[in-house]
Amino acid sequence: MDSIGARLREERERLGLTQTELGEKAGVTKNTQRLYESDQRSPKADYLVAVEHVGVDTRYVLMGTHEEGQGEKEPRDLPEPANEDLSPVAMYDIEAAAGDGRSLEREEVESTMYFPTEQLAAQGLDPAQVVGVKVRGDSMDGTLADGDWVLVDRSSRDPHPEGVFLLLVHGERRIKRVQRVAGGAWLLISDNPRYEKELIKPQDMKDVEILGRCEIRIGKVL
């Protein structure tokens, strides 16, 4: 199979799904699925994430080679895509990650996704500084849902932040909205109003580390 569309069709047929069925699972129409398989349109990143969860081997679809194992890879060791217009992004499950101050690069990569380099650049993102993390729990409902993926810019570690960040708090990775308050303290806010805000006093800042800013959500269309 010498094209992305042909390999996508091959994977769909391997799973025993029709174009309509796979399209529904990925949140696209049968016509869009047909356009992807006929190489008349390139699959988008959120589509690829969705079909990977269904069982499609997206590495094979994009690169023409199958994954030989689930070994741990650091971002600099990620395989280069056959298409130079795509950039590899390591995807991590932050619940599975061990915490305790370890960098994400030492965790097991759950999967590798490939995103259009030009689109990442248009968002002001350097692909070498981007990782994906899976959202766990409902504390950020309204912004991020359980099971969503979010692309995190690791170069954005502003010591005076405002926005949604991946944080290391007391050795535990969390995604929270950060708001600065008087006196140099931070409020860690869960967008789900059922959760209380957490005040981080200046003297406790040593227990908090910014791992990166959450930039792009990839989730199921509800």
C-alpha span between 164 and 170 (Å, rounded): 18
Percentage, residues of the chain above pLDDT 70: 82
The pLDDT of residue 75 is 39
Can you tell me the mean pLDDT for 87-93? 85
Which domains does the chain show, CATH number per domain?
4-63 (1.10.260.40), 84-218 (2.10.109.10)
C-alpha span between 119 and 24 (Å, rounded): 25
Can you tell me the mean pLDDT for 98-123? 72
Q: In which residue are the tokens 């094209």 written?
A: 3
Res 163 pLDDT > 80 = yes
**pTM attached to this predicted model:** 0.62
C-alpha span between 112 and 116 (Å, rounded): 13
Would you place residue 66 in the very low, low, confident or very high pLDDT band (cuts 50, 70, 90)?
low
The pLDDT of residue 196 is 93
More confident site: 113 or 74: 113
Q: Which contiguous run of DSSP H or E holds residue 6? A: helix 4-14
Cα distances from 100 to residues 106, 143, 170, 208, in angstroms, run 12, 26, 8, 12
> SS3 for 131?
strand
DSSP count for the chain of H helices, then E strands: 6, 9
Q: Is 28 exposed, middle or buried (0-12, 13-18, 19+ CB in 10 A)?
A: buried
